[in-house]
Amino acid sequence: MWYKIEMNCKKILRINPFSFVLYFCIFFLCSQSFVYGELQTIHLPITIDYSILRSSLIQQAFNKPGEKAVPLDFGEGCSGIELWKPEVGPDKDKTMIKLGSNIKVRAGLPIGKTCMPLSEWDGYIEVFQNLFVDQKNMKLGFQTMDFRTLTPDRAQTSINTVLTNIIKNYLNPYLNKIIIDVDAPVKGLQDILPLFFQTKDQNNARSWFSKLRPGQVQIKQSGISLDLLMDIEKDRLSKEKTDVADNEKERDEIVKSWENLDAFSVYQVHTLIGHPVTEEEKYNILEMILDTRHDFIQNLEEGKLPRDLVSKQFCDIWQGFGPLMRKYLTKQQAVSSNFVLFSAVSDVLSSLRNIGPSIGVSFNKDALIKLAKLISVPGLPTDLQYLQVVDRRLLDFFGIGQIVDAVPMPSIYVPEIEIPDLLDSDKLANKIYKYFGFHPFQTFLNLSSSLVFADGPMIDPEKIRPWVFKKNDFSPYVERIGKKLEQVYVDIQKKKRLDSKYHIFFKNLLFATAWQETCWRQFVENKGKVRPLESYNQSSVGFMQINVRVWRGIYQPEALRWDIDYNMRTGCEILDLYLQRYALRRAETRTLDLDTLAMTVYAMYNAGPAQYKKFLLRRKNYKYSKVDQLFWQKYLWVKDGQYNKLSVCLIGK
């Protein structure tokens, strides 16, 4: 037995070195597969917009003054080709790139210092090119396959053989030299993308992205789609159903991450300011921002924050912003290379979200700041602060928030104030106030407040007193509120110029909305202490329940809380916005009666522009929500002038 063991050991030792190394490598690879798990190649398509391609074309070929290219200049202009004002896009079958340009071709014979002209043509040319990937050098290349000649008016025409040969021999090779460098943006992706992962996952992410490589390329209507390939462990690609945050710490992290994304979205809007963005495009941007904010608020109020909420919203926002940013930002050649990387990062992050939530993308502030710096604008901070202050540039861009003038308010949050003659429980203090003109508690409050509000004005209790409801003041209170709301309605309509046929309708809509939201209350009082009426999470405030997260940057939060006039005007403007900019501009609205239109506009007021289609679908299926039904009841009471019904919610009977 010992003899056999000895012989086997000698056989093992006699294995030649090459075989030993081969066996070792096989063992190592198998063990790595066991340790790291089975790998799967995933596809991460990025879009290279045609405007970016055009910028590359100008830099490499059309680099003479006036965006001119000169592929041939022979005999001091005796023979030559000139092109100018190039256009780039897909051909009709989306199989090749179509390069169009004005063109002038000359053929001549130099004789001494003179030129004998042979032929000349001015017109327009369309060159068709195949696109290929040079994976070794990480570049996209172009190969000219054919061309078509047209008149300056774009009618097809033909040219003689001499000119045709000049184009084939000189223009085609000239355009074949154009390349798009893929290596630089891929390295940029490898640098930035790991930042979008939690700290514990960043090393894994760096390993994945270090092997990023180009795959197939496709020509699409929106641009060139380049497929980037990456290998990742299969167990990280689980497409399990996303659940919700199940503890307070995780919910706080999602809220913070969402605030980072919201600040980033506003930053993207700022990069478009100053560009010739159309009114329709501005409406679409505002609609997208309002819908994402309402979506977040709804999930927050329901206590069900999906773990992938922020990544989903990032994808939705990029889907809306991407085409606009490609349209306007790539016109600046100085930022085009950075924008290529910005666009590629956004495309990859969207693809990673679609692959599966378990991959663990994290939208932290540092990563978003680095992304924002790629499209930085002089004078625009990239710190992405989530601030509750009015953004004047945003107001000008969207054309809203400008007809509501707020009175000066404290710059910090004021939870409540004390009003002396509302302190029914403190008779002695009220007697002191009655006979001596000051209230001991209020005097102390004023002294302390003068220190707290050193950076802002005090809140004037006298301006608040008439708008605090007391049960023994029902009829006078309703009359005061009605007159004030009527005046707000009249003032807003003078500025907004609503068609007169909608005036009575809009007044009913405004009164019913305020009834539904707060039962005509701006404040609530308890034992002389007055505070603004707020939702349980303090995000919706005042008479019209304006959500300060949804309208962040547009309206002043403290004025919404303490100035009833400002709150009313804000709510009135928002209703007008949803009516005139969104509802009345849509073809479906023409088929709606005014009562249905009122319910549709309120649905948007309550939960964002996306509710336009959602409400009409509920109406079609006769599946009205509880909120729809409650508003409808208030709206009918307003139409019938039954304001005495306010006692149900104000007094309880």
- pLDDT tens digits for 549-586? 999 999 999 999 999 999 999 999 999 999 999 999 99
What's the pLDDT tens digit per position in 115-124? 999 999 999 9
Report residue 2's pLDDT band, with 50, 70 and 90 as the boundaries.
very low
Report residue 460's pLDDT band, with 50, 70 and 90 as the boundaries.
confident
Number of domains in the chain: 4
Report residue 453's pLDDT band, with 50, 70 and 90 as the boundaries.
very low
Three-state DSSP state, 54: helix
Report whether pLDDT(139) > 60: yes
User: Given this model, what pLDDT does residue 535 score?
Assistant: 85
Average the pLDDT over each of 17-26, 230-239, 615-624 and give the range with the smallest value: 17-26
Average the pLDDT over each of 80-84, 201-205, 572-576 and give the range with the smallest value: 201-205
Residue 405 lies in a domain: no
From 386, 415, 438, give the residue that closes a domain: 386
Residue 41 lies in a domain: no
User: Given this model, what pLDDT does residue 234 score?
Assistant: 81
User: Given this model, what pLDDT does residue 151 score?
Assistant: 96
Report residue 30's pLDDT band, with 50, 70 and 90 as the boundaries.
very low
Report whether pLDDT(310) > 80: yes
Provide the domain limits for residue 191. 183-386
Report whether pLDDT(39) > 50: yes
Q: What is the mean pLDDT of residues 308-330?
A: 90
My answer on whether 170 and 210 are in the same domain is no
User: Given this model, what pLDDT does residue 241 score?
Assistant: 55
My answer on whether 532 and 638 are in the same domain is yes
CA-based nearest residue to 289, from 166, 408, 397: 397
User: Given this model, what pLDDT does residue 222 score?
Assistant: 87
My answer on whether 477 and 539 are in the same domain is yes
Residue 124 lies in a domain: yes
User: Given this model, what pLDDT does residue 448 score?
Assistant: 40
Q: What is the mean pLDDT of residues 90-101?
A: 95
- CB proximity list for 45: less than 8 A, separation 6 or greater: 225, 226, 227, 228, 347, 351
My answer on whether 187 and 172 are in the same domain is no
Element (H, E) at 255: helix 248-272
Residue 400 lies in a domain: no
Q: What is the mean pLDDT of residues 189-194?
A: 96
**Helix pair 333-355, 183-192: axis angle to 10 deg:** 60
User: Given this model, what pLDDT does residue 334 score?
Assistant: 45
Mean pLDDT across the chain, nearest whole number?
86
Report residue 357's pLDDT band, with 50, 70 and 90 as the boundaries.
low
Report whether pLDDT(3) > 70: no
Task: Work out the percent of the chain whose per-residue pLDDT is above 70.
Answer: 84
My answer on whether 167 and 207 are in the same domain is no
From 386, 404, 427, give the residue that closes a domain: 386
Residue 442 lies in a domain: no
What's the pLDDT tens digit per position in 614-647? 999 999 999 999 999 999 999 999 999 999 999 9
User: Given this model, what pLDDT does residue 483 score?
Assistant: 95
User: Given this model, what pLDDT does residue 536 score?
Assistant: 76
My answer on whether 135 and 69 are in the same domain is yes
Find the DSSP H helices in 497-623.
Answer: 503-518, 557-562, 564-576, 594-607, 611-620
Order of strands across the sheet that contains 114-134? 68-74, 79-90, 97-111, 114-134, 139-150, 179-181
My answer on whether 201 and 322 are in the same domain is yes
- CB proximity list for 222: less than 8 A, separation 6 or greater: 47, 49, 323
Q: What gap in Å lies between CA 376 and CA 367, rounded to an integer?
A: 14
Q: Which residue has the higher pLDDT, 343 or 16?
A: 343
Three-state DSSP state, 144: strand
What's the pLDDT tens digit per position in 526-555? 888 899 999 877 789 999 999 999 999 999
Report whether pLDDT(424) > 60: no
Find the DSSP H helices in 330-439.
Answer: 333-355, 365-373, 392-398, 427-436
Q: Which domain CATH number covers 489?
A: 1.10.530
My answer on whether 166 and 225 are in the same domain is no
Report whether pLDDT(183) > 70: yes
From 359, 386, 413, give the residue that closes a domain: 386
CA-based nearest residue to 627, from 645, 607, 647, 648: 607
Residue 89 lies in a domain: yes
Q: What is the largest CA-CA distance in the chain?
A: 120
CA distances from 474 to 224, 486, 521 (A): 67, 18, 12
- CB proximity list for 595: less than 8 A, separation 6 or greater: 635
The two tokens of residue 545 are 């329940």
Three-state DSSP state, 332: coil
Q: Which residue has the higher pLDDT, 59 or 332?
A: 59
The two tokens of residue 76 are 């001091």
My answer on whether 476 and 553 are in the same domain is yes
My answer on whether 514 and 603 are in the same domain is yes
My answer on whether 223 and 85 are in the same domain is no
Average the pLDDT over each of 314-323, 418-427, 472-481 and give the range with the smallest value: 418-427
pTM beyond cutoff 0.75 = yes
Q: Which residue has the higher pLDDT, 335 or 301?
A: 301
Report whether pLDDT(491) > 70: yes
Order of strands across the sheet that contains 417-418? 417-418, 529-532, 523-526
Q: What is the mean pLDDT of residues 231-244?
A: 73
CA-based nearest residue to 485, from 446, 515, 441: 515
The two tokens of residue 187 are 């390295």
My answer on whether 161 and 133 are in the same domain is yes
Report residue 425's pLDDT band, with 50, 70 and 90 as the boundaries.
very low
Q: What gap in Å lies between CA 23 and CA 30, rounded to an integer?
A: 11
What's the pLDDT tens digit per position in 390-411? 999 999 999 887 666 666 666 6
Q: What gap in Å lies between CA 180 and CA 142, rounded to an integer?
A: 9
Residue 538 lies in a domain: yes
Average the pLDDT over each of 45-59, 229-243, 589-603, 610-624 and give the range with the smallest value: 229-243
Report residue 17's pLDDT band, with 50, 70 and 90 as the boundaries.
low
Residue 51 lies in a domain: no
User: Given this model, what pLDDT does residue 421 score?
Assistant: 64
Which residues does residue 39 pair with via DSSP β-bridges, in sequence order?
233
Q: What gap in Å lies between CA 43 and CA 217, rounded to an integer?
A: 12
